[in-house]
Amino acid sequence: MSTLLGIVLFIFIGVALMVVLGEKFASPMEPEKLQRITRWIWPLVMISIVIQIIMYFSGSN
């Protein structure tokens, strides 16, 4: 149980650190760049879901 709490604590610290550093140093994206990235996200998500379904039903990890 203590191992689980340690892992959760480290994950929480890591996420908090990413949020703080992201707010401090990240710059806003230009709309053109955001649109290019957004165009690729949905197809990649769908491909990964299909691959995971195939892997699940084939029995491989």
Residues in CB range of 55: below 8 A, 6 or more apart? 61
pLDDT in tens, 17-41: 999 999 888 888 898 988 988 899 9
Q: What residue type is assigned to position 22 of the chain?
A: G
Map tokens 């955001």 to a residue: 34
Q: Is the pLDDT score of 1 beyond 70?
A: yes
Q: Is the per-residue pLDDT at 57 higher than 90?
A: yes
Identify which of 45, 24, 51 has the alpha carbon closest to the alpha carbon of residue 60: 51
Reported confidence tier of residue 48, pLDDT bands at 50, 70, 90: very high
User: Could you give the CA distance from residue 19 to residue 35 in angstroms, rounded to a whole number?
Assistant: 23
Token pair for residue 35?
């649109």
Per-residue pLDDT at 61: 61
